[in-house]
Amino acid sequence: DICCGSEVCKERKDEAPVLQEDACIESNLCSYPHYLIPDTNVVLHLSQTVLDVRAMHVCLIFVLRETFIEREPGESANDRNDRAIRVAAKWYADHLAKKTNGGSLKVVLLTDDRANKEKAEQYGLIVYRCEEYIKSLIGNPELVDRLALQPDDQNEITGSKLLFPEHLPLSRIQSGIKNGVLLQGTFHANRDNYLEGTVFINREGEDINEVLLQGLQNLNRAVHQDVVAVELFPKERWVAPSSVVLQDDSPNDEDSEEDETENKRVVKSENVLKPTGRVVGIIKRNWRPYCGMLSQSMIKEATRHLFTPADRRIPRIRIETRQAANLAGQRIMVAIDGWPKNSRYPNGHFVKNLGTAGDKDTETEVLLLEHDVPHLPFSPAVLSFLPKMPWSITEEDLKVRADLRHLGVCSVDPPGCTDIDDALHCRELENGNLEVGVHIADVSHFIRPGNALDQEAASRGTTVYLCGKRIDMVPELLSSNLCSLRSNVERLAFSCIWEMNHNAEIIKTHFTKSVINSKASLTYAEAQMRIDDTTMNDDITKSLRGLNRLAKILKGRRTEKGALTLSSPEVRFHMDSETHDPIDLQTKELKETNSMVEEFMLLANISVAQKIYDEFSECALLRKHPSPPPSNYDILIKAAKSRDLNIHIDSAKALADSLNNATVENFPYFNTLLRILATLCMMQAVYFCSGMDSDFHHYGLASPIYTHFTSPIRRASVAFHTQLFFKNKGIINEEGFILFVRKNAIIILIPKFGMEGAVFFDNKDKPSPHLIFDSEGPTLKVEEHTFRMFDKVKVTISLDASNIQHQRIRMALIEPVIPGVSVPVPESEPEAKKPKLDC
C-alpha cells in the first residue's frame, strides 16, 4: 500500500515524497511534463557522472502489488529485472494518464540496453537512450560532458595500436599470487618522475618489500594507489632508482615515441640495487575524482582534451568537452572512466567546475578536496547531539570528578588561539615535593561513542589549520567554547597529575576526570615575560617558574638519553586582516616557554601510554618510531665528511652527540643544515596496537613507550601561501644553502623563508651546460664550477605564473657566477616574463 508519490494523484498520503508536475527539465525530445524512469544500469552510470542532486530529482520506484512479476521459466534474472521495470513504467504511465484525464503528465523510460528499448517501444512506452535524452536537454550543455564513456566508445576514440600489455584476468592473478609467481601490492607513482613508480608489497614475511617499476610499459596503466599484481624481473635487471627530475608536461597529445627517449635520460647509478618488475594486472582500482586543469590545446576547435591533475602522481586524463573555451583558467574536477590498452592516457569525463585558478577560495577548495578533507558545514543530525545552551556544570558532574577549581591552572598557547585544549599547573606540596598537572579538555564528555557527532568527528580526524582559515573537527560550540579551557570559566577536563621531587623525578602519577577553572590564558611571550620579570610573584607566575625549571631538567635528561633535537624551519605568516592575504613571512622563533609546554605534553603522552598499556596490554593504541637502517644516514655522513667532521650513527645518543659537536667556524648555520638533513634521513613514526607488536621504542624521542594523548595534530597550507606572498613581491634576491645535489639540479634552502626550491641546469629550450655528477661526493660540476652540499649560493626568487596550474616558485642562480648559467642581479622592476609551455 505504498502510494505512487505523484502530486497529481489524490490517493497519495501527505508524508510521501512529492513528484512535482512543474519541476520539469526542458528537453527537445519531450516537450511535455514527464517523469523519468532510468533502468538499473542507467542509475548506476548516471549516479557516478551526470546525476547530482541539484541537477535532477531521483526517486525510487517501489514494487507495487500491481507491478510485481514472477520470473518466467528460462528467463534470466536480468531479463526479469528489465521486464519488471517496463511493467512498472507502463503501470505508472497508465496510472498518471488516468489521474490527469488523458495524460498531460507522461513517463519516459531511459535505457541503454538495445533489447530492452525495443521491447519497451513495442509495449507502448516512451523510451530513449540515456545519451540521446541528456543531449536533448535545453540549458544544461555541461551534462553531456559528464556522461562517462561507454566501454564500446573507448576503442573508437583511440587508435588501434596496442600500447600496453594485456592485464591478466583475476583468476590467473590469484593463482599466481598463491604459487608465488606474482606479488600483490599498492602502487605509488613517483612525484618527480612520471616514468617511475614503486609497488609496496603489503604481505607479512615477504623478503621483498618494494618493487621498482620503470617505463610506461612496465607501469602498465597502474594509477597511484591502485592495488596491483607485479611480476619480478631477474636480478640482472635490478637497478638503482633514478635521481632525475622528470615531468610529463609536453603540450603534445600524440602517443609518441618521446617517452622512450626520455627514459634513456634516466641514468643508472651503481648505488644499492632495487628489485624491479612489471605490472601484470590490476586487483583493485582506487580512483577518485581529481582536481586539476585542462592542458592548453594546440587545436582550438577540438572536443578531445588532456586534463592535467594537480596531483603530479596522477597521469594526465583524456576527456571530451565542448566547453573547453569556458574551462580555460578554471580549476575543474575530472573522473577516470577507464584505461584501454591502446590509449596513452586514461579516458575520463568532466565532473565539476571549482572556480578560477589562483583565486584564494578556489585554491583552498582544491587543497581540501585533494587531501580528502571533509569540509562541508556540520549536518543538522550532527548538531542535534550538541549540549543545550546555556550549559553549566551539574552536581552529577562534580560527584564523579575531582574538583580542581581552586588550583592555579593556566594555559600557554600561540597568540589568537581559540581552541585551548591543554592547561597546566604546578604547586608545592606540604611534604616539600611538587605537584604538576596537565589538564586536557574532556571532549569525550560531550561526544558519546557511535552517535552522528562522534562519527563525523572520527571521519574528519583532526582540525585542519589553513593560513587564515580553520576547518573544525567538531562543531565550534565544542571546539572554541565548551571544550576550550579558557580562563575564568568552569570546564571539564581529563587530568594527568604527577608528584615530583625538585629533581623532576616522578614519585607518583595519577589520572582523573576533573573540573578546572583556569586563572589565565597566556601567550608564549606573556608567559615568558612573567617568568623573567622578577617583580612578579603571584601564584600563576610562581607556577610557571616551577614548570619552567622542571621542564629544563626533563629536557636535559631526555637529551642525555639521546633524544634528538631536530630542526626544521617552521614558517609563519602575518595575514592582512582585511584581505587575509599573507603580507609577511618569518621563520618561527622558539621561546623557552614553547619548550616548557612541549616537555609536559610529552610527559603526559608518555605517562598515558604506560597507563593504557598496563590496563589494556593487548589493545593500547601506541605510537612508535623505528630506528632507521644505517644506510639512510649515508648522505648525512658524506655531507659532514666534506667538512672533515664525523657523524656517528651507532645509537641515537651517538648521533645526537656528534650532531652537537658538528660545527664549522664562521658558518653558524651549518649545524642547523645538518640537523635538517638528519630529519630527512629518519623513518616515519607509526601508530600501532600493543598486542600486535613487541617493539614499542620511539627513536626520535628516545622513549620506550609513547602515544598521542594531549591534542589533535595540526597542519597548514604553507606552500600555497608562500606562493601568494611571492606573487605580490615580484623578484627578490636571497642567500641560500645547497641541501641536496642532484644529477640535473641543486636543491636550495632559503633560511630566511624556511623554504626549499630547485635550480635546474638542464633546460628544454636552450642548450644545457656541461654537467658531471659524482654520486660519491656528492658533487655536481656545472661547466667549471663544482657544487657541494651546504655551499652558500645567491639566487633570485620569483613566482612563475606562466602555467597557472603549476605556478611555482622559481629560483635562478646569481652567485657563484657561471657564464651562460647564472643570471645577472635583477633590476628593481621585474621584467615581464614571456609565457613558456613547459614548467
Ligand X SMILES: *[C@@H]1O[C@H](CO)[C@@H](O)[C@H](O)[C@H]1NC(C)=O
We find the least distance from the C-beta atom of residue 701 to ligand X, in angstroms, to be: 7
Q: Which is nearer to ligand X, 186 or 710 (CB)?
A: 710
Give yes or no for residue 598 binding ligand X (CB under 6 A). Answer: yes
Give yes or no for residue 657 binding ligand X (CB under 6 A). Answer: yes
Q: Which is nearer to ligand X, 469 or 708 (CB)?
A: 708
| Nearest residue to ligand X, scored by beta-carbon proximity | 708
Q: Which of 89, 527, 601, 659 binds ligand X (CB under 6 A)?
A: 601
Give the Cα separation of 224 and 785 in Å (integer): 39
β-pairing, 520-523 vs 410-413, is parallel
Q: Which is nearer to ligand X, 356 or 646 (CB)?
A: 646
We find the least distance from the C-beta atom of residue 554 to ligand X, in angstroms, to be: 11
Handedness of CA 221, 227, 229, 232 (dihedral sign): positive
We find the least distance from the C-beta atom of residue 707 to ligand X, in angstroms, to be: 7
Give yes or no for residue 593 binding ligand X (CB under 6 A). Answer: no
We find the least distance from the C-beta atom of residue 293 to ligand X, in angstroms, to be: 35
Q: Which is nearer to ligand X, 361 or 598 (CB)?
A: 598
Q: Which stretch binds ligand X (CB under 6 A): 362-370, 523-531, 631-639, 655-663?
A: 655-663
We find the least distance from the C-beta atom of residue 651 to ligand X, in angstroms, to be: 12
Task: Give the three cell numbers for residue 830.
Answer: 621585474
**Greatest C-alpha distance within the chain:** 98
We find the least distance from the C-beta atom of residue 134 to ligand X, in angstroms, to be: 49
Give yes or no for residue 479 binding ligand X (CB under 6 A). Answer: no
Q: Taking a C-beta distance cutoff of 8 angstroms, is the pair 789, 749 a contact?
A: no
We find the least distance from the C-beta atom of residue 712 to ligand X, in angstroms, to be: 6
We find the least distance from the C-beta atom of residue 709 to ligand X, in angstroms, to be: 5
Which residue carries 597568540 as its cell?
415
Q: Which stretch binds ligand X (CB under 6 A): 118-126, 251-259, 286-294, 598-606?
A: 598-606
Q: Taking a C-beta distance cutoff of 8 angstroms, is the pair 295, 308 a contact?
A: yes
Give the Cα separation of 500 and 140 in Å (integer): 71
Q: Which is nearer to ligand X, 233 or 494 (CB)?
A: 494
Which residue carries 488523458 as its cell?
102
β-pairing, 571-575 vs 582-587, is antiparallel
Q: Which is nearer to ligand X, 428 or 598 (CB)?
A: 598
Q: Taking a C-beta distance cutoff of 8 angstroms, is the pair 85, 36 a contact?
A: no
Q: Which is nearer to ligand X, 362 or 711 (CB)?
A: 711
Q: Which is nearer to ligand X, 494 or 773 (CB)?
A: 494
The CB density around residue 281, as the number of other CB atoms within 10 Å, is 23
Give yes or no for residue 643 binding ligand X (CB under 6 A). Answer: no
Give yes or no for residue 560 binding ligand X (CB under 6 A). Answer: no
Mask 661-680, x = binds ligand X (CB under 6 A)?
x-------------------
Mask 694-733, x = binds ligand X (CB under 6 A)?
--------------xxxx-x--------------------
Q: Which is nearer to ligand X, 555 or 572 (CB)?
A: 555
Alpha helices in 486-589 (DSSP H): 524-532, 539-561
Percent of residues in the chain assigned helix, strand, coil, to nearest 5: 25, 25, 45
Query: Residues touching ligand X: how many (CB under 6 A)?
Result: 12
Give the Cα separation of 673 and 667 in Å (integer): 10
Q: Which stretch binds ligand X (CB under 6 A): 173-181, 197-205, 475-483, 599-607?
A: 599-607
The 3-state secondary structure of 776-802 reads: CCCEEEECCEEEECCCEEEEEEEEECC
Give yes or no for residue 121 binding ligand X (CB under 6 A). Answer: no
In three-state secondary structure terms, 758 is strand
Q: Taking a C-beta distance cutoff of 8 angstroms, is the pair 823, 796 a contact?
A: yes
How distant, in Å, are the alpha carbons of 609, 645, 657 from that of 559? 20, 21, 9
Q: Which is nearer to ligand X, 333 or 483 (CB)?
A: 483
Closest CA to 303 of 414, 144, 95, 445: 144
The CB density around residue 472, as the number of other CB atoms within 10 Å, is 18
Q: Taking a C-beta distance cutoff of 8 angstroms, is the pair 423, 409 a contact?
A: yes
Give the Cα separation of 557 and 624 in Å (integer): 20
We find the least distance from the C-beta atom of residue 412 to ligand X, in angstroms, to be: 13
Question: Which residues are CB-neighbours of 640 under 8 A, at least 6 positions away?
Answer: 646, 647, 658, 662, 674
Q: Which stretch binds ligand X (CB under 6 A): 1-9, 109-117, 220-228, 595-603?
A: 595-603
Q: Which is nearer to ligand X, 708 or 785 (CB)?
A: 708
Binding stretches for ligand X (CB under 6 A): 598, 601-602, 605, 657-658, 661, 708-711, 713
